[in-house]
Amino acid sequence: MLIKVFPKTSLKINKPLVYECNINMDLGDIVKIPLGKKETLGIVVDKIENKYFNFPIKQILDNKKEYIPLNMIELKIIKHIIKYYCSMISGTINPYITRKIDTSAYKDEFNQNFPSNKKNILLTKEQNTAIKKIREDKNQKHILFGITGSGKTHVYLEIVRQFFNQDKQSLILLPDIAITSQFYSKIKDVFPENTISVIHSKLTKKQKEIENNLIREGKRKIIIGARSAIFSRFKNLGIIIIDEFHDSNFKQGNDPRYNTINIAEQLSLLSNSKLVLVSATPLIEEFYKYKTGIYNLEKLTKRALNSSKDIDLNLTIVDLKKEPNQIISNALAKQIKESINRNEKIILYVNRRGYSPLLICPNCKYIELCPRCEIPITVHKNINNTYYLNCHHCEYTTTKINYYCPLCKQSVMKFYGVGTQSVKEEVQSIFLDKKLNIAILDKDTTKNNTESLEIYDLLGNKNINIIIGTQLITKAWDIYNIGLVGIILADMDYTMPDFRSTEKGFQTITQVIGRGGRENNKWNVVIQTFDINNRILKMAKNTDFNKFYGSEIKLRKQFNLPPFSSIIKITLKGKNKNILEKRAKFVFQSIKNHKFSDTIIYNPVQGMPHKINNLYRINIIIKINNDSKQIKKFLFNQYIQSRNFTIDVDPKDLF
Per-residue model confidence as pLDDT tens digits over 298-347:
999 988 765 555 667 899 999 999 988 889 999 999 999 999 999 999 99
Instruction: Return d(Cα 60, Cα 57) in angstroms, integer.
Output: 10
Of the pLDDT bands very low, low, confident and very high (cuts 50, 70, 90), residue 407 is: very high
Of the pLDDT bands very low, low, confident and very high (cuts 50, 70, 90), residue 455 is: low
Q: Encode pLDDT of 128-142 as tens digits.
A: 999 999 999 989 999
The 10 Å CB-count burial string (b at 16+, else e) for 418-431 is: bbbbbbbbbbeebb
How high is the pLDDT of residue 203?
85
Report the chain's mean pLDDT, rounded to a whole number: 90
**Residue 282, preceding bond cis, omega within 30 degrees?**
no
Q: Encode pLDDT of 31-44 as tens digits.
A: 999 998 999 999 99
For the four alpha carbons of 45, 49, 50 and 52, in that order, the dihedral sign comes to: negative
How high is the pLDDT of residue 107?
61
The answer to whether 382 and 359 are in contact (CB under 8 A) is no
Of the pLDDT bands very low, low, confident and very high (cuts 50, 70, 90), residue 18 is: very high
**Lowest-pLDDT range of 181-185, 305-309, 404-408:** 305-309
How high is the pLDDT of residue 82?
96
Is the model's pLDDT at 519 over the cut of 80? no
The answer to whether 6 and 89 are in contact (CB under 8 A) is yes
**Span 534-545, mean pLDDT?**
82
The answer to whether 174 and 242 are in contact (CB under 8 A) is no
Of the pLDDT bands very low, low, confident and very high (cuts 50, 70, 90), residue 281 is: very high
Amino acid residing at 115: P
Domains and CATH numbers, the chain: 2-96 (3.40.1440.60), 125-300 (3.40.50.300), 312-356+417-552 (3.40.50.300), 566-649 (3.30.70.600)
Is the model's pLDDT at 452 over the cut of 60? no
Is the model's pLDDT at 111 over the cut of 50? no
The answer to whether 264 and 230 are in contact (CB under 8 A) is yes
DSSP string, 572-632: EEES-HHHHHHHHHHHHHHHHHT--TTEEEPPPEEEEEEEETTEEEEEEEEEESS--HHHH
The answer to whether 375 and 393 are in contact (CB under 8 A) is yes
Instruction: Return d(Cα 194, Cα 212) in angstroms, integer.
Output: 14
**Span 520-537, mean pLDDT?**
88
Is the model's pLDDT at 116 over the cut of 60? no
Of the pLDDT bands very low, low, confident and very high (cuts 50, 70, 90), residue 114 is: very low
How high is the pLDDT of residue 446?
66
Describe the crossing of helices 452-460 and 177-187 by its angle, rounded to 10 degrees: 60
How high is the pLDDT of residue 120?
66
What is the percent of the chain where pLDDT is above 90? Answer: 73
For the four alpha carbons of 320, 321, 324 and 329, in that order, the dihedral sign comes to: negative
Is the model's pLDDT at 167 over the cut of 70? yes
Is the model's pLDDT at 450 over the cut of 50? no
**Which residue from 510, 509, 512 is spatially nearest to 346, judged by alpha carbons?**
512
